[in-house]
C-alpha cells in the first residue's frame, strides 16, 4: 500500500490510516498523532495552533487526531472523536482566525474507520508564506517543528524562514529562465509551442521514473477532450513509449508532439510545428486556433490529474511560449450579440516574433479548464481579440 505522503489528500481513506498503525509508522518531522480532540479552553486552543503552525513553518505534514501513540511515538490504537465533522470545521476556522498569514492549502477531513471510530486528518502543506505567527489573544508567537517535537522559533530561524521562501522563488525563476534559453536554442526555424508548469519546491524529487503508473499516465492521460489530446494511444495501439532522460521521462513522436516529466515534477508539452500551417500567399502563415485551445485544455487536465494522483504539491508556476510566429494570422470564432450568428475575423501578429506568456502562479487545480482559459486569453489578447472561443461557464466546449 502507498504511504499517505505519496497520495493526494482527497484520495486518503481509512485503509491508509489503518496502514500507519499496522506498520507502526512512528511520529517524526512530518507526522504527529493525538489521541483526543483539543478542547475549547484557551490553553488547548493555543496548543492546537502551535502544533499546526509548527508544521507549516517547517516542512508541512499530517496531524491525525484519534490515534493514540506510545512514548516512542508509535501508533498503538484508535480513539473515537465525537462530532468529528464539527470539530474538523472548528480546527479550520480557528486556524483561519488565529494564524497570520493564513496557511494556504490547509485541509482537514473526518474519516470513519472500519471499526467505527471517527478520526480527523489535518494536512498542513509546506508553506510558501512562512513564517506563520499565532496571534490568538495577542500571543504573537512563532513555532517550528524539529523531528517529532515543536519548539519556539529563534530569531535566526525566523530570519531563515523568510530567506528560504525568497530563495524558493529565486530557484523557480532561475529554472524557468534556463529552460526558456534551452527551448529557444532547440526551436530555431519552424514555429514551436511549449506549455510547461513547475512546482515551487523545485529542488525536491516527486517522480519515480520506474513507476508503471507514471508511464501509463504519460502514454494515455485521463480526462482528455476532443481530438487534440496528449495521448499516444488509440484503441489498443500504443504509438510510442516513455524513455528515461537525464532529468526524468520523455515521450514523443518526432516533431509532432513531445511530453516531458522531470523528477522534480516539471511537466512540459512541446508542439514543434503541428499548430502552424501555410495559408494562401496573401495571408501567409496561420495559427491553428482549435488545436492550440484543445492542447492547452488537455495539458492542464493532465496536469491536474498528475498533481492529484502523484503527490505533487499544487503550488505551481505555469507558462506558454510561442516561438517563431511573427506575422502569423489567427482566425477566431466570434458570435454576433444581436443576431447570434458566428463569424471568423482574422488578425495578424505583427510586432513580436516570439510570444511568451509570462509565468503565472497556480494555486488550485479544481477547474483546469479555467486555468487553460486564463493562459489562452493572454494569447488571444496579444492578437487583438477580447476573448478566447469555445468556453462556456469556464468549461471547454470543443467545436464539432
- Domain of residue 144, CATH code: 3.30.950.30
How much is the pTM? 0.76
119 shares a domain with 230? no
d(CA 368, CA 144): 34
| Rounded Cα distance, 95 and 321, in Å | 39
**357-395 confidence digits (pLDDT tens):** 989 988 778 899 999 999 999 999 999 998 899 998 899
Per DSSP, the three-state class of 7 is coil
Is residue 33 over pLDDT 90?
yes
Where among 153, 176, 193 does a domain terminate?
153
251 falls within a domain: yes
Q: Are 302 and 369 in contact (CB under 8 A)?
A: no
Asked, as a colleague might, if the bond just before 255 is cis with ω within 30 of 0, I would say: no
**Do 171 and 148 share a domain, yes or no?**
no
Residues 183 and 139 in one domain: no
Report residue 217 CA to chain centroid gap. Answer: 16
What's the mean pLDDT in 278-304? 83
- Tens of pLDDT, residue by residue over 139-177, are 899 999 998 999 999 999 999 999 988 888 899 999 999
Domain termination residue (choose one: 97, 132, 153): 153
Q: What is the pLDDT of residues 46-101, one digit of tens each?
A: 999 999 999 999 989 999 999 999 999 999 999 999 999 999 999 999 999 999 99
> Does residue 159 fall inside a structural domain?
no
Q: Is 180 found in the same domain as 133?
A: no
Same domain flag for 232 and 379: yes
Beta strand 267-271 with 192-199 is antiparallel
Q: How many domains does the chain have?
A: 2
Residues 349 and 383 in one domain: yes
Same domain, 71 and 124: yes
Q: Work out whether the CA dihedral 85, 91, 94, 96 comes out positive or negative.
A: negative
User: In the listed set 125, 153, 181, which residue is the last one of a domain according to the structure?
Assistant: 153
Residue 106 lies in a domain: yes
Residue 161 lies in a domain: no
- Answer whether residue 160 is part of any domain: no
Residue 8 lies in a domain: yes
Do 83 and 186 belong together in one domain? Answer: no
> 86-89 — which CB contacts under 8 Å span 24+ positions?
87/37, 87/120, 88/120
CB 98 within 8 A of CB 44: no
User: Are residues 267 and 235 both part of a single domain?
Assistant: yes
Question: Could you please report the per-residue DSSP string of 148-191?
Answer: TEEEEPPHHHHHHHHHHHHHHHHHHHHHHHHHHHHHHHH--SS-
Task: Name the average pLDDT for the chain.
Answer: 89
Is 242 exposed, middle or buried, given 0-12, 13-18 or 19+ CB atoms closer than 10 A? buried
Do 120 and 87 have their domain in common?
yes
* Residue (of 385, 322, 377) closest to 348 by Cα position: 385
Domain containing residue 71: 4-153
Amino acid at each position: 500500500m502507498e504511504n499517505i505522503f505519496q497520495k493526494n489528500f482527497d484520495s486518503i481513506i481509512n485503509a491508509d490510516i489503518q496502514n500507519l498503525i499496522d506498520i507502526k509508522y512512528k511520529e517524526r518531522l512530518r507526522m504527529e498523532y493525538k489521541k483526543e480532540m483539543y478542547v475549547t479552553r484557551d490553553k488547548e486552543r493555543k496548543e492546537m495552533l502551535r502544533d499546526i503552525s509548527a508544521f507549516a513553518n517547517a516542512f508541512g505534514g499530517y496531524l491525525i487526531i484519534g490515534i493514540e501513540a506510545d512514548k516512542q511515538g508509535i501508533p498503538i490504537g484508535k480513539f473515537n472523536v465525537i462530532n468529528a465533522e464539527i470539530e474538523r470545521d472548528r480546527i479550520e476556522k480557528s486556524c483561519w482566525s488565529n494564524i497570520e498569514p493564513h496557511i494556504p492549502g490547509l485541509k482537514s477531513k473526518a474519516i470513519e474507520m472500519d471499526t467505527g471510530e471517527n478520526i480527523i486528518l489535518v494536512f498542513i502543506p509546506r508553506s510558501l508564506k512562512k513564517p506563520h505567527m499565532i496571534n490568538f489573544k495577542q500571543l504573537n508567537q512563532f513555532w517550528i517543528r524539529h523531528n517529532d517535537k515543536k519548539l519556539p522559533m529563534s530569531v535566526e530561524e525566523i530570519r531563515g524562514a523568510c530567506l528560504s521562501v525568497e530563495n524558493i522563488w529565486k530557484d523557480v525563476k532561475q529554472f524557468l529562465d534556463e529552460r526558456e534559453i534551452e527551448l529557444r536554442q532547440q526551436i530555431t526555424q519552424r514555429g514551436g509551442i511549449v506549455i510547461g508548469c513547475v512546482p515551487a519546491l523545485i529542488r525536491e524529487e516527486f517522480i519515480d521514473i520506474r513507476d508503471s503508473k507514471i508511464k501509463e499516465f504519460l502514454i494515455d492521460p485521463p480526462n482528455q477532450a476532443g481530438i487534440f489530446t496528449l495521448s499516444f494511444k488509440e484503441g489498443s495501439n500504443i504509438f510510442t513509449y516513455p524513455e528515461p532522460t537525464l532529468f526524468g521521462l520523455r515521450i514523443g513522436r518526432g516533431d509532432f508532439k513531445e511530453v516531458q516529466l522531470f523528477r522534480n515534477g516539471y511537466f512540459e508539452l512541446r508542439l514543434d510545428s503541428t499548430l502552424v500551417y501555410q495559408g494562401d500567399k496573401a495571408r501567409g502563415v496561420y495559427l491553428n486556433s482549435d488545436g492550440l485551445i484543445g492542447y492547452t485544455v488537455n495539458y492542464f487536465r493532465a496536469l491536474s490529474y498528475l498533481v492529484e494522483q502523484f503527490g505533487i504539491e499544487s503550488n505551481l508556476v505555469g507558462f506558454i511560449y510561442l516561438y517563431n510566429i511573427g506575422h502569423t494570422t489567427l482566425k477566431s470564432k466570434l458570435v454576433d450579440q444581436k443576431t447570434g450568428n458566428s463569424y471568423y475575423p482574422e488578425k495578424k501578429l505583427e510586432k513580436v516574433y516570439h510570444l511568451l506568456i509570462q509565468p503565472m502562479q497556480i494555486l488550485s487545480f479544481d477547474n483546469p479548464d479555467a486555468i487553460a482559459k486564463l493562459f489562452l486569453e493572454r494569447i488571444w489578447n496579444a492578437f487583438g481579440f477580447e476573448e478566447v472561443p469555445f468556453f462556456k461557464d469556464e468549461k471547454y466546449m470543443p467545436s464539432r
